[in-house]
Structure 1
Amino acid sequence: FDSELFHGASFDLDAADNQTVASIQALDEVERIWQAAYMTTPTDGSATVLSSVGTKYTAWSPHNDTKVAKMHSLGYYGEDVVIAFVDSGIDYTHEAFGGGFGSGFRVDKGYDLVGDNYVVGGEYIPDEDPMDCLGHGTHVAGIAASGDDYLPGVAPKARIRSYKVFGCGDGTYEDVIVAAFLQAYEEGADIISASLGSDRGFADTATAEVATAIQAKGALVVIAAGNSGDMGPFYSSSGGNGFESTTVGSVQAADWVAYNVTATSSSGESRDIMYISNSLLQFTLDGPARANVQEGARDLTACDWDLESVPSDEVMIIPRGTCLWQVQDSTLIGKATNVFYVQTEGLDWEYIDRAVYPALILYDDGDWIFTQAESGYDVTFAFTHDDQAISIPRESFINGRINDFSSWGPTLDGRMKPEISAPGGSILSTWLTADGGWAVYSGTSMATPYISGVGALFFGSRGGHAALGDGGAKLAHERIIASGKPVHHEDGTDNLASVAKQGAGLVDAEKVLLYSTSISPANLNLNDTVNFKGTHQVQVTNSGDEAITYIVSHEAGSTIHTKGNGDAWVSFEPPYSAGTGNVAEVSFSSESFTVGAGETKTLTLTFTEPETISASMLPVYGGSVVLAGDNSEVMRITYMGIKGSIYASDIWEMERGVPLYMSGYGDVIEEGHEYTFEEGTPVPQPYFNILWSTWEFSFDYVHKDWQPSDWTYPPVAGENNWIGSFRLVENPLSGVVVDFPQQQYPRWPNGVYATPQAFFANGSRIESGDYRILGRALRTGGDANNIGDWQYKASDWFRI
């Protein structure tokens, strides 16, 4: 890496032990050394591939709730703004991207940093062609910048660059991502969009460092929050944890992706029928297909009737039963290949996710089919491979809410991540042309380019990067956050989702582009109780031609209980509360103030932690201070705090004996027990889990006389009764042979064994002697030199 922003190199170590790493760090030429993280594309499941989009029905679009459609109507398209995608490449032959690559095309630059045949851990074989063979990068680019008339991206006239860091499969390493970021910046990107990340969750990474440096130079960096929502709070993606870079959560899109098929009766009547399939694909039938309506079908369901089998080239028509979809599915397996369930009268659309190939049609359409059959007529559907994907409003309790898969913050240093959310659930966008050209995907990967597109619209509205200067990215970042509209919890209630998951809420492009009000900073980190910062000053700027008078108010959000049981375990689905005593209180330096045209004024905010909720549950609270201008502009300052101590969060439940030191897989180690490491014999091994992410943890061999007072960091073999670290037979999580120590390790609550080889981590063979195992895990923010900042436990001594 030879850049004005970052100078260095990536390299392999035969032994990545503390002593070796520390010796490199100690070199005068080395400012910082990191372990390169493994990165993936954060998507929720696989893509559903479509053949085309069409024009006959309402265009599917996520742009209405975000006001992007309104910005398009006013002529804002992000023209000539450069968006660089660091992803799996792009299928630039797609018509939505202009059909070509190079000078004169919309995709005018790019680079493949790894090669099509790259697999994780393999050799990088770069080339000049960023053609996508995975699909993810193409889908992402379309969300931000598709130029399709029917399905435009957020910034349909932006210029596109693609820097390919994945091969034809998911997974890559951090060094190549850093290289891509730097190349994109140096080749003039205005926006860098990265739908990738790692669950390590620490801000001190090479990627975060480079992203922060690029942002400071005026290029907006937008990164996915991750798709680990099922892991609970404090599980943010390390890629998005940089200071000032914009991290994005996912909101469910408002519309279903549906299809139309024409049904023709032998009576001469015909009818267009819309359907939503279980896979969001069009039916695989091609050509005419008979509607199979069994006698008395109106009164049949798949819940408890012994239905007749249906030929595979016909479509069974049957009312939706009242039993579980799983029961109906089980009844039809082996009897029907294609099924149209007729929705119950008065009910709206819903999604079916079953093993047979069903779809849902509405009651009126089913009633027409039944009526034709009861009158003695046959109904035939005309299916084609170019059935058009169309939009149906989603009347669902998840519509417009935060997606359950979207990762939780805060960061491990107590900052709000993500800062903003965008549509990312069930998003229709571009796909590989060889596989149909369009697909539906879900994930924060999809929400990220949406914000990148909004950034491009803003840059375009202000004359671009050159006009905005180095402060342009910070201005865009803060206006995007201040525009957020809080969305509701994914549980279907009227309660707001936590700011630790949604950030400021759903982006509003109109506010980002057109409002006169700017706020800096737009989000406030109150930190935890130990490091609580309760007073903040906020600058409010009016860039308009007339004075604005603002009314200040407070809207508290929900407070989540990170540790719902008050113990060391983080709740995967944290309980939450609201109301007096469970939320923060805030006072303002002024409840009303006026900012003249072109002026800036300071608003001082003073916060008080929630009073009644217990710090043992490590509650995360938040909300927004609302500025309502007399010109109808409403902007928000979003805040977040943590009651309790992040530092005090235990990695191991030591009061319950964790880590356990086992003799093989049965008994615990007994003092003086002998081991030979011969094949088939028990070995001394820890059994443990990781209940809180840790900067470093390790299992080491120490002398039987080791005492905590012997501790020095980094430990040196042969000194202070420290002998060496474990080399594992295999990583209990990934199956890869690894050495201790492990750094920036994410929370992993499931119990695993660390089975050692007969070698130390430096490759030397374990010699005969008397040993103990030392387990050590560094607390968040702890000083590695201080043994008191580690959770540590030594085993009974044993002989090898």
Structure 2
Amino acid sequence: MRRLMIVGIGLAAFLAACSGPQRVQPQFEPVQEIATSVSALNTGAAEMVDETPTAWLVELSGRPKIEGGSDASVKADKDNFRALAQANGVKFRERFEYSELWNGLSVEASASEAAKLRGIPGVKAVWPVLTVSAPQPVDGGSETDMFTAITQTQVNIAQNTLGLNGRGVKVGIIDTGIDLEHPDFAGRIRYGFDFVGDAYNAADPNNSTPIPQPGPGTRPGGDDCNGHGTHVAGITGANGTVKGVAPEVTLGAYRVFGCEGSSSADVIIAALEKAYKDGMDVVNMSLGAAFQWPQYPTAVVSNRLVKKGVVVVASAGNSGANGAYSLGAPGVGEDVIGVASYDNVAVFLNFFTISPDNQAIGYGPATGAPTPPTSGSLPMARTGTPAATSDACNPLPAGSLAGQAALIRRGGCTFYQKAFNAQQAGAAAVVLYNNAPGRFSPTVAGTPAITIPVVAISDTEGVLINNRLATGPVTLTWTNQSGSFPNPTGNLISSFSSIGLSPDLTLKPDLGAPGGLIYSTYPLEKGAFATLSGTSMSSPHVAGVVALYLQAKPGTPASEMRTILQNTSDPKRLSVAPTTGLLDIVHRQGAGMVQIVDAINSTTRVTPGKLSLGEVESGSVTRTLTIRNLGNDSETYTFSHVAAPATTGTFTVSYFNAPSLVSFSSPSVTVAPGSSASVNVTITPNTGLANLAQFGGYVVVRNSEGATVARVPYAGFKGDYQGIQALAPTTFGFPWLARLVGTNYVRQTGASTFTLQGGDIPYFLVHLDHPVAKLQFEVLNASNNRPVHPVFNKFVDLEYVGRNSTATGFFAFAWDGTRIHSNMDNGNGDNSLFKTVPNGSYVVRIRALKALGNENNPAHWESWTSPVITLARP
């Protein structure tokens, strides 16, 4: 059964800064509503989200070729794995195999079979193959380029004054492909490969075999029937109607998405290997699997690419509404440039006009409604006031809106419900306006379908129309025109941009670029141009910036590129309360908005480019910064500090004004040309800030003239990181012992018997409120609660497991009555890797090692013991 779940994040704003930490109250609702389609299981009381993977990446212990492995050695590793798996009856189906950047395979298997894979000799780790989704388009206007976005990052100056265009730099776009016929890319798509074909959709259980299907003839990368990749590539390097950041780069199109739906991590790794073989200088991935550790394979493979001289840029993720620790892999990778999104300062939109002065009102059409007309007029009517909290959420009087365009404020119910109620009341069109600063992209898809045009406008435009309607009639006139409209949230972090830190408390994301409301290329058959939003749009902007830098300064090591860009990035104001003047949290914007001209012209280099302070249970933490003078004259540098807010919570994020104390071993250093000097930075979290909080700020470096020449972001965790509960019960009382009845998991609250025949097997449902370092399921004798074997008693043994995406999500693990055994001969010739647990009565103990926990410290483990399970095979 498929149902729709609305997921939100509570965001608190700030009061004015004061001497101590102060909790502040919400100023407005979340800017964006997130709707997620989930597989719901009917428990009779509520809905849950089953997030159990069905495919797995099997990492083998031998070295990949990039780290010294040979063709023969990696082949032998795989052959040995296959032979042992077959000999022990492990059931799986292969999807991909890897050799260059990662030694292993991807397979399709149940969770219980995946647990067995971990016990095969030579297997280093088993990871879930996670799906990544391409965002849907939001129609834009017909303007000719991204000129407002490129002014935010100094790209316009780099192009027009410095004469940079990215010529000679190869940028690989791992995405949905690129429209090979689009004139804005003429002659510059010279590399690529289609890994999936049109029909592939990783989220479709009926089409789960991603067989590479190259495009026709010798053309690279197939084609783009989705649109996302063409849009992404245009931001990096279009050169025509749209002029991208680096309009003369050479492009590689590596297609990992079909026409619709999702891709998967194993396909992405295959594309990374191909991009490496093709010699890309920069690789962009506007994609990611959310809630992941930096140890996830796509991140690890990306790190290896950087070590081999390829700059890898990736989206931080669009899971901001899902709370903290929501970053995606590969963007969370240690050496990857993980990119956050800021909103564009302007947006090109179609517009209608309103009487009496024909004022233009820019709008975005709602998904799921008919295309708005380009001519004709309608009288307008309002259904509520600017203070309404649930405008048009209830049925409206029949005929009350007959032939009119209904103005409806956002909030209180779904966009579909508002549009449907207006339609039933006779409305000829619906104009939705925001209940928070900025613009939004609604969907009114539903059953029965909406049959009238529905458009969205900003909060200020909505209030303007509402006020006019309060004093007299207003007429809406549709036009075929478009124009540039100011975006109230311009230069602020986009509401969808994911929130860090990384599960290992590394500072992520690294920096940001415009990604909200970006106009770029689109497949010709889909209109040639469109406006989309996402960290998918900010990442290729940074990839283009990297190309400009590499053109200006060829030979720059890939490993230094992130630091160079971070040093000169510009942090922006707090998006949830911009009028306070405070900076946004470091674990959402990183170093800030990238500034390419400042990066190129900088004569100062500060390393490291960021300070990940980790867990600070008490006291202070000290780090060392090294300042290098790349100029021709001696320079005296001084140091200061600018605080950023702190936050608590995971699914619900609360903001606090709690500046840290920062001191320096020396207030200044003088550095000769070509030399360097170091300074120690001591950071003390605010003592009034509650524990289990993320905090951060910026070290500011100024030259002898007082100009800021570098900033270094820092972030850490105050308190005992292992104090965060991982095995949270939620409203459903997880973990569960369960039986699968049809499509429903039925909770077993007492002793239960299973025959292990057909589908009569026990399932264990686990909700993870926080990422865990290990997740283990142990089999114990029910009579004495002792393990069935002193060492080999597990049937699930996983590492680096990300948290559930929602407060009600869970992972389901089936037990087939076996346990992982020794891979050594026990003296009687039995080399079986898995042992059958005899019929009898047992309990299962689930153990989770908390993030960064010490496995030898019992306090760092959480556990739960099931009701008695009786295995009664016939």
Shorter chain as normaliser: what TM range?
Answer: 0.7 to 0.9
Cα distance in 1, alignment partners of residues 118 and 542 from structure 2: 38
Cα distance in 2, alignment partners of residues 430 and 662 from structure 1: 49
Equivalent position of 2:4 in the other structure: none
Contact map agreement 1:251 1:425 (CA 8 A) in 2: yes
Contact map agreement 2:620 2:682 (CA 8 A) in 1: no
The verdict on how the C-alpha distance between 1:652 and 1:324 changes in structure 2, with shifts beyond 3 A counting, is closer
Cα distance in 2, alignment partners of residues 7 and 574 from structure 1: 36
Query: Do residues 529 (structure 1) and 597 (structure 2) align?
Result: no
Paired residues for 1:52-131 under 5 Å: 53-54=142-143, 61-74=148-161, 75-98=163-186, 105-120=187-202, 121-127=208-214, 129-130=220-221, 131=223
Equivalent position of 2:749 in the other structure: 668
Query: Do residues 606 (structure 1) and 673 (structure 2) align?
Result: no
- Greater CA drift, 318-327 or 772-781: 318-327
Query: Do residues 479 (structure 1) and 564 (structure 2) align?
Result: yes
Task: Give the secondary-structure state (helix, strand or coil) at the position aligned to 2:696.
Answer: strand
The verdict on how the C-alpha distance between 1:324 and 1:600 changes in structure 2, with shifts beyond 3 A counting, is same
Contact map agreement 1:260 1:272 (CA 8 A) in 2: no
The verdict on how the C-alpha distance between 1:685 and 1:106 changes in structure 2, with shifts beyond 3 A counting, is closer
Paired residues for 1:203-352 under 5 Å: 203-259=294-350, 273=360, 275-279=362-366, 284=371, 289-293=375-379, 330-331=421-422, 333=424, 335-338=426-429
Deviation readout 1:735-767 (Å, 9 max, x if unpaired): xxxxx4555432223265847476558899875
TM-superposed CA distance for 1:401, in Å, is 1.5
Cα distance in 1, alignment partners of residues 292 and 298 from structure 2: 12
The verdict on how the C-alpha distance between 1:680 and 1:607 changes in structure 2, with shifts beyond 3 A counting, is closer
Query: Do residues 589 (structure 1) and 589 (structure 2) align?
Result: no
TM-superposed CA distance for 1:505, in Å, is 1.6
Deviation readout 1:464-519 (Å, 9 max, x if unpaired): 3xx33xxx223321121112222233323423321111111222222222222222
The verdict on how the C-alpha distance between 1:3 and 1:261 changes in structure 2, with shifts beyond 3 A counting, is same
The verdict on how the C-alpha distance between 1:761 and 1:37 changes in structure 2, with shifts beyond 3 A counting, is farther
Equivalent position of 1:560 in the other structure: 647
Paired residues for 1:409-428 under 5 Å: 409-428=500-519
Contact map agreement 1:291 1:317 (CA 8 A) in 2: no
Equivalent position of 1:714 in the other structure: none
The verdict on how the C-alpha distance between 1:277 and 1:179 changes in structure 2, with shifts beyond 3 A counting, is closer
Cα distance in 1, alignment partners of residues 525 and 533 from structure 2: 21
The structure 2 residue matched to 1:48, chosen from 130, 138, 144, is 138
Deviation readout 1:173-197 (Å, 9 max, x if unpaired): 3333223223212322111111121
TM-superposed CA distance for 1:556, in Å, is 1.1
Equivalent position of 1:509 in the other structure: 596
The structure 2 residue matched to 1:490, chosen from 575, 594, 598, is 575
TM-superposed CA distance for 1:654, in Å, is 8.2
One-letter amino acid matched to 1:244: D
Query: Do residues 136 (structure 1) and 228 (structure 2) align?
Result: yes
Cα distance in 2, alignment partners of residues 319 and 168 from structure 1: 35
The structure 2 residue matched to 1:547, chosen from 634, 637, 642, is 634
Equivalent position of 1:797 in the other structure: 868
Equivalent position of 1:573 in the other structure: 652
Cα distance in 2, alignment partners of residues 695 and 665 from structure 1: 29
Equivalent position of 1:730 in the other structure: none
Contact map agreement 2:169 2:281 (CA 8 A) in 1: yes
The verdict on how the C-alpha distance between 1:561 and 1:350 changes in structure 2, with shifts beyond 3 A counting, is closer
Aligned length: 715
Contact map agreement 1:49 1:436 (CA 8 A) in 2: no
One-letter amino acid matched to 2:727: W
TM-superposed CA distance for 1:449, in Å, is 0.8
Task: Give the secondary-structure state (helix, strand or coil) at the position aligned to 1:248.
Answer: strand
The verdict on how the C-alpha distance between 1:7 and 1:667 changes in structure 2, with shifts beyond 3 A counting, is closer
Equivalent position of 1:8 in the other structure: 103
Contact map agreement 1:647 1:781 (CA 8 A) in 2: yes
The structure 1 residue matched to 2:259, chosen from 144, 152, 168, is 168
Cα distance in 2, alignment partners of residues 459 and 318 from structure 1: 52
The verdict on how the C-alpha distance between 1:780 and 1:279 changes in structure 2, with shifts beyond 3 A counting, is same
Deviation readout 1:98-139 (Å, 9 max, x if unpaired): 2xxxxxx11111111233333333042242541122211111
Unaligned runs of 5+ in 2: 1-63, 68-99, 203-207, 445-451, 740-744, 821-833
Query: Do residues 781 (structure 1) and 846 (structure 2) align?
Result: no
One-letter amino acid matched to 1:108: R
- Greater CA drift, 410-419 or 778-787: 778-787
Please report the TM-score for the alignment, with normalisation by the length of structure 1: 0.78
Cα distance in 2, alignment partners of residues 722 and 323 from structure 1: 54
Cα distance in 2, alignment partners of residues 161 and 795 from structure 1: 52
Query: Do residues 641 (structure 1) and 720 (structure 2) align?
Result: no
TM-superposed CA distance for 1:529, in Å, is 2.2
Equivalent position of 1:393 in the other structure: 486
Task: Give the secondary-structure state (helix, strand or coil) at the position aligned to 1:539.
Answer: strand
Contact map agreement 1:276 1:351 (CA 8 A) in 2: no
Cα distance in 2, alignment partners of residues 413 and 633 from structure 1: 31
CA RMSD between the two structures: 4.4
Cα distance in 1, alignment partners of residues 273 and 210 from structure 2: 20
Cα distance in 2, alignment partners of residues 322 and 9 from structure 1: 49
Unaligned runs of 5+ in 1: 27-31, 99-104, 563-569, 711-717, 726-739
The percentage of aligned residue pairs carrying the same residue is: 23
TM-superposed CA distance for 1:402, in Å, is 1.4
